[in-house]
Amino acid sequence: MNMRILLVEDDHYFSGILGDYLGHLGLEVLRVADGVEALQLATESPVDLVLSDVFMPRLNGFELVARLREQEAYRKLPLLLMSAVYQDEQVVQRNLLQSGADDYLIKPFTMAQLSRKLGEYLDLKPELEGALAVGGAAVIRESSWERSVELPERGEIDSGFVAEFMLQLLAASHTGVLKMVDGSRWKDIVFLNGYPMWSDGGGTHNRMGTMLLEEGTIEPVEFRGAVQHMRDHKVDFGSALIQTGLLSPTELYSQLRRLTERRVVSALSWAVGTWTLTTGLPRQASCFEVNPLVVVWKGLGLQDQARNLVNFIAPYEQMYVIPTETYQSFWQLLGGVEAFEALGSFVNGRRRVCELREFEVLTDGQLAKALWLMFKAGMVGFSEQPAGSGQLSSSPEGQREASTAQVPTIDPKLQELADCILRDYLRLWQADFFVVFGLQPEADEQAFAQALAGSPLSWNLDDVSEDLPAEIRARARALLGWVEEARDTLSHPASRKAYGLRLEEGATGAYVAVSAPDCTEAAFFFDEGKRQVRLHDYLAAERSFAHAVEADPSTPEYKAYRAWAGYRGAGGSSAAVQSAVSLLRSVLQADSHQPMAHYFLGLIQRDQREFPAAVASLRKALSIDPGFDSARKALGQVEELAGL
């Protein structure tokens, strides 16, 4: 039998929202509008907890608590009050507790806060543990959300493709690499059981230094110091950050997961190009698993898909939203997204799309986006009939543990151990076997015997405390396995020679690419140039972009920005126009799918009142990147000027 809660709230709208959410938590809800009704109902129908507003007609919340405490059945029962803060919060807190209430909530509060508060007093079990039965009516579900659906191996990329395909890969628990190519642009995403675990590819957003500078994690002078350390000590950028003390190993690990998420999210903006899908995990792929549903949610915001998503949901406007057997397990993956926390309590199988819209917990655009994602992820379907009271058990295959994009909180006493484990993991995981033991392939047998007799790790298996987060313990076990595989392979001359040959041929699947210092420094100059553009210091910006091009001439985006800054810095003179247009056209001749080059060319053509050409350039930029808001705004201005 479900636990029963007495909800006392005179605001009927808010009472309805709370009632729906409490029902979602598996509670039977008795709703009344004031203290007098509550007192009468509490006497007739025993409950497990009372949740009451304070300011109500006839009998307020303070008086209700006092009257309930006089009854034997309610002397130890949890009584919680809700109140908005109209005066000093400490005064409100003191009054609430002095009334005899066990606890309080300050309005406004989120449903997640309410759930946590109730969880301190009740054993909450959400009602929706699986799909709800719908009597006699078909439920429209996403057909691609089936494990048996055969995944294609190649195709053309169009707007919205990546988001939908990523959900199909999650459904199929696919392990392999999605490779996307468009001219000089490329992007690889490595999946393990449907979860993105690493990504690499062209573009400034793919660089650790760019992310750390943009977010202010490190200062420019620190960045330059790390780059110099790379040159002096022949190490990668991540190692330089640790060795110069800018980041701890734990902090670097967390940043690499954030970088992986950033890279995967950026892939969802692709609207042109080709793709291929491989099967199997590359031997030397990094492992920084990120949440696929959160990635898709964030990525949808990069595309100009709002109208398409609204149009997609429109045919289901009068239909009920029915949770499926995967709803509850996948809901855990979306728990940290504020929009889903607000919507979740209403997705109970007994609300139409139009009713969800009327609640106004989300904007129309957010609601369409959330329903599209849940439908495409197989979390909900649509039906002309509401869900019945019967419940089906959850599918074991649908259960997945929530993933986090950050390293869990670590006990300070274990921080040094965690840093040691992650430092070794970042240094040695999937490194080639010779590197693991610090050996050259041509070393003699004595050198091999001496190196293999020791351990390259700074910790032992016995050191790995059970009090460490599970994720770090798992990384430790994986790394130990990799080290032992390396030891076994290098222990015998025959297997060592065979491994060396495979390494030379690239057959070991080497996947991790380490940026050279010049490329890392180029990213610094590029970010410095963009900062100067925001300050309208175009002469300084042009110099920074020139340094970026000099350090990394293979990145077309650097050249496009240099052309634009040079044009603006010279005041738009005829010589500046000719020079900038020539550089931009050279970029586009090498790769016509560079949205920034088309965008800057369109702005220059606009300034020269070449409106038809400007419209064509800006439309081309948008065809490559439909989420390019600046290009969209510029196009609208040019079309207005041209009278189109």
Residue-number span of the structural domain to which 110 is assigned: 4-119
In a domain, 150, yes or no: no
Distance CA 136, CA 128 (A): 20
- DSSP-assigned letter for residue 393: P
Distance CA 181, CA 535 (A): 34
Residue that is last in its domain, among 351, 366, 398: 398
Taking alpha carbons only, the member of 310, 294, 302 closest to residue 369 is 310
* Statement: residue 374 has pLDDT above 80: yes
Instruction: Tell me which of 456 and 59 has the higher pLDDT.
Output: 456
Helix (H, G, I), strand (E, B) or coil at 113: helix
> Sign of the CA dihedral 349, 350, 354, 360?
negative
Mention every residue, 6+ apart, whose C-beta is less than 8 A from residue 221.
none
Which stretch of DSSP H or E encloses residue 318? none
Residues for the chain: how many in total?
A: 644
Q: At what angle do helices 161-171 and 364-376 cross, to 10 degrees?
A: 40
Looking at residue 285, its pLDDT comes to: 61
Residue 607 pLDDT grade (very low, low, confident, very high; cuts 50, 70, 90)? very high
Looking at residue 128, its pLDDT comes to: 42
Looking at residue 148, its pLDDT comes to: 52
CB contact at 8 A, 296 and 170: no
- The reply to whether 166 and 284 lie within a common domain is yes
Q: Any bridge partners for residue 81, and if so which?
A: 52, 104
- The reply to whether 196 and 283 lie within a common domain is yes
Per DSSP (E only), the strands in 176-333 are 176-182, 185-192, 195-201, 274-277, 320-323
CATH of the domain at 610: 1.25.40.10
Per DSSP (E only), the strands in 472-527 are none
End-to-end CA distance of the chain: 66
Q: Residue range 348-361: average pLDDT? A: 86
Q: How far is CA 212 from CA 189, 206, 207, 524, in A?
A: 21, 11, 9, 10
Q: What percent of the chain has pLDDT over 70?
A: 84
- The reply to whether 227 and 346 lie within a common domain is no
Phi, psi angles (nearest 5°) of residue 324: -100, -175
* Statement: residue 129 has pLDDT above 70: no
Residue 12 pLDDT grade (very low, low, confident, very high; cuts 50, 70, 90)? confident
Looking at residue 396, its pLDDT comes to: 32
Reading the block at residue 481, the tokens are 């396995």
Lowest mean pLDDT among 27-41, 442-456, 488-502: 488-502
Four-CA torsion 371, 374, 379, 380, nearest 10 degrees: 20
In a domain, 127, yes or no: no
Distance CA 220, CA 216 (A): 9
Residue 138 pLDDT grade (very low, low, confident, very high; cuts 50, 70, 90)? low
* pLDDT one-digit tens code per residue, 450-462: 999 999 999 988 8
In a domain, 235, yes or no: yes
Q: Which residue reads 């675990």 in tokens?
A: 197
Distance CA 87, CA 107 (A): 12
Looking at residue 402, its pLDDT comes to: 37
Reading the block at residue 508, the tokens are 């070991």
- The reply to whether 393 and 423 lie within a common domain is no
CB contact at 8 A, 531 and 563: no
Looking at residue 585, its pLDDT comes to: 95
Residue 175 pLDDT grade (very low, low, confident, very high; cuts 50, 70, 90)? confident
Phi, psi angles (nearest 5°) of residue 85: -95, 105
Four-CA torsion 168, 169, 174, 179, nearest 10 degrees: 130
Reading the block at residue 20, the tokens are 């729906």
Instruction: Tell me which of 99 and 177 has the higher pLDDT.
Output: 177
Chain centroid offset of residue 445 CA: 49
- The reply to whether 629 and 570 lie within a common domain is yes
In a domain, 284, yes or no: yes
Residue 147 pLDDT grade (very low, low, confident, very high; cuts 50, 70, 90)? low
Taking alpha carbons only, the member of 144, 201, 198, 200 closest to residue 169 is 144
Four-CA torsion 468, 470, 472, 473, nearest 10 degrees: 80
In a domain, 446, yes or no: yes
176-182 sheet: strands from edge to edge? 154-156, 274-277, 176-182, 185-192, 195-201
Residue that is last in its domain, among 68, 101, 119: 119
* Statement: residue 446 has pLDDT above 80: yes
- The reply to whether 562 and 500 lie within a common domain is no
Q: Residue range 359-371: average pLDDT? A: 87
- DSSP-assigned letter for residue 122: S
* Statement: residue 545 has pLDDT above 90: yes
* pLDDT one-digit tens code per residue, 573-597: 889 999 999 999 999 998 888 899 9
Distance CA 644, CA 637 (A): 10
CB contact at 8 A, 313 and 353: yes
User: How many beta carbons lie within 10 A of that of residue 467, not counting itself?
Assistant: 11
Residue 552 pLDDT grade (very low, low, confident, very high; cuts 50, 70, 90)? confident
Taking alpha carbons only, the member of 142, 266, 250, 247 closest to residue 196 is 266
* pLDDT one-digit tens code per residue, 264-274: 998 998 888 99
Looking at residue 264, its pLDDT comes to: 93
* pLDDT one-digit tens code per residue, 207-219: 788 888 888 888 9
Helix (H, G, I), strand (E, B) or coil at 497: helix
- Whether cis (ω within 30° of 0) applies to the bond prior to 323 is no
Residue 565 pLDDT grade (very low, low, confident, very high; cuts 50, 70, 90)? very high
User: How many beta carbons lie within 10 A of that of residue 189, not counting itself?
Assistant: 25
Distance CA 644, CA 640 (A): 6
- The reply to whether 325 and 384 lie within a common domain is yes
Phi, psi angles (nearest 5°) of residue 412: -55, -30
* pLDDT one-digit tens code per residue, 196-208: 988 888 666 567 8
Distance CA 549, CA 539 (A): 16
In a domain, 520, yes or no: no
- The reply to whether 273 and 167 lie within a common domain is yes
Residue that is last in its domain, among 264, 288, 312: 288
* Statement: residue 299 has pLDDT above 50: yes
Angle, alpha carbons 430-435-436 (nearest 5°): 65
Average of per-residue pLDDT values in the chain: 82
Q: Give the number of C-alpha atoms closer than 13 A to the C-alpha of residue 317, restricted to the C-beta side.
A: 8
* Statement: residue 394 has pLDDT above 70: no
Judged by phi (left if over 0) then psi (alpha if -120 to 50, else beta), residue 609 lies in left
Looking at residue 504, its pLDDT comes to: 63
Distance CA 64, CA 434 (A): 74
How many domains does the structure of the chain reveal? 5
Burial of 424 (0-12, 13-18, 19+ CB in 10 A): buried
* pLDDT one-digit tens code per residue, 342-353: 787 788 888 899
Distance CA 564, CA 606 (A): 13
Q: Residue range 329-335: average pLDDT? A: 74
Looking at residue 89, its pLDDT comes to: 54
Reading the block at residue 594, the tokens are 């560079």
- The reply to whether 197 and 277 lie within a common domain is yes
Which stretch of DSSP H or E encloses residue 395? none
What is the DSSP track for 56-104?
A: -SSS-HHHHHHHHHTSGGGSSS-EEEEEE-SS-HHHHHHHHHHTT-SEE
- The reply to whether 632 and 606 lie within a common domain is yes
CB contact at 8 A, 261 and 405: yes
* Statement: residue 398 has pLDDT above 50: no
Reading the block at residue 546, the tokens are 């020139």
* Statement: residue 627 has pLDDT above 50: yes
Helix (H, G, I), strand (E, B) or coil at 337: coil
- The reply to whether 246 and 338 lie within a common domain is no
Residue 113 pLDDT grade (very low, low, confident, very high; cuts 50, 70, 90)? confident
In a domain, 512, yes or no: no
Lowest mean pLDDT among 69-78, 122-131, 163-172, 311-320: 122-131
Q: At what angle do helices 517-534 and 220-233 cross, to 10 degrees?
A: 170
- The reply to whether 333 and 365 lie within a common domain is yes
Looking at residue 157, its pLDDT comes to: 92
Q: Residue range 10-30: average pLDDT? A: 80
Burial of 169 (0-12, 13-18, 19+ CB in 10 A): buried
In a domain, 519, yes or no: no
Looking at residue 32, its pLDDT comes to: 94
CB contact at 8 A, 35 and 62: no
